[in-house]
Amino acid sequence: MADRARNGKVTVVGAGFYGSTTALRLAEYDVFDTVVLTDIVEGRPEGLALDINQSRAIEGFGTRVVGVGGGSYAGTEDSDVVVVTAGLPRKPGMSRMDLLETNAGIVRSVAEAIARTSPDAVVIVVSNPLDEMTALAQLATGFPHARVMGQAGMLDTARFTNNVAEELGVPVASVRTLTLGSHGDTMVPVPSRCTVDGRPLADVLPPDRIAHLVERTRNGGAEVVALLKTGSAYFAPSAAAARMARAVIEDSGAVMPVCTWVDGEYGISGVYLGVEAEIGREGVRRVVEGDLSDSELAGLREAADAVRSKQADVADL
């Protein structure tokens, strides 16, 4: 704990279940100097920060967590990474798009505050509807596209992996999957890039079962929401966002499926979309184009068209 090299500051905006769990994961990595948790509610982030700090001696990490309530950004200044979880979660029966106008107002005000206080930050958006909120955050901050990305593909891919592992009764470590496209109805799971113990998914599962798992993945968030009845998923989503933030601060060059600006790759231009990208200190270093089947590529282009029209609308929200 004492001799570990830590550097940088990460701010998590929103101290709900998603934000507080993300802050805990980031602190337990023990790679940041400071994790700042901020929220419009007075006292909640301060209390959560105190609680997490009191776990340091038990779990053996030295990162300090700071809570800032009342909508203040004091203490967040010059953050290296900012994770935006602010916004309303889904309720049963709601689509991600039902949150559009409400969360657009919240995300815009958060993005403008980030631009003032942390003008060099890499921003990771997790607020729904994800693709639209990521586009809005880039517009509102005025940051280069590379420094604003959204968390979706990491989560959707993890859900797909879990679904396949459960279906086959195998360890998750033996399964490799990938999802691209949007975080929602035009999600594009990529069965051609999926393997189980190195064998193509199509060799171990019949087409109808793969289709079922793809559909379950697409509805993964709604499945959790329906069971919880109040609130939405946060354990798996926070793990995904935290891994992205870690890749930034460590300048790791890790290749991850994220929502990022696509401009020419896959023959798609001018849209935030879920693709694989290399992540480092300046955000997205480059989009990594992988081999896709004709139908998967068509699905990705269809997702781009659907998302592009919605992203055009958020500029006015």
CA-closest candidate to residue 146, choices 277, 253, 264: 277
Say whether 251 counts as a known binding-site residue: no
The CA–CA distances, whole Å, from 302 to 10, 186, 205, 295, 296 equal 35, 8, 26, 10, 10
Say whether 126 counts as a known binding-site residue: yes
Q: Copy the structure tokens of residue 114.
A: 């980030």
Contact 14, 39 (CB under 8 A): yes
In one-letter notation, the amino acid at residue 21 is T
SS3 280: strand
In b/e form, how buried is each residue of 109-147, taking b as 16+ CB within 10 angstroms?
A: ebbebbbebbeebbbbbbbbbbbbbbbbbbbbbebebbb
In one-letter notation, the amino acid at residue 309 is S
In b/e form, how buried is each residue of 188-208, taking b as 16+ CB within 10 angstroms?
A: bbbbbbbbbeeeebeebbeee
Q: How many CB atoms lie within 10 A of CB 264?
A: 10
Task: Determine which one of 183, 243, 246, 308 is catalytic.
Answer: 183
In one-letter notation, the amino acid at residue 235 is F
Beta-strand relationship, 269-280 and 254-263: antiparallel
Say whether 7 counts as a known binding-site residue: no
DSSP 183: S
CA-closest candidate to residue 34, choices 9, 69, 68: 9
Does the annotation mark 212 as catalytic? Answer: no
Say whether 103 counts as a known binding-site residue: yes
Say whether 313 counts as a known binding-site residue: no
Element (H, E) at 307: helix 294-314
Say whether 105 counts as a known binding-site residue: no
Q: Copy the structure tokens of residue 305.
A: 């068209």
Q: Is the Cα dihedral 230, 218, 311, 287 positive or negative?
A: positive
Say whether 127 counts as a known binding-site residue: yes
Say whether 309 counts as a known binding-site residue: no
Say whether 18 counts as a known binding-site residue: yes
CA Rg value for the chain? 19
Contact 63, 34 (CB under 8 A): yes
Residues with catalytic function: 183
Which residues are documented as binding site? 14-19, 39, 90, 96, 103, 126-128, 159
Which residues are documented as binding site for NAD(+)? 14-19, 39, 103, 126-128
Which residues are documented as binding site for substrate? 90, 96, 128, 159
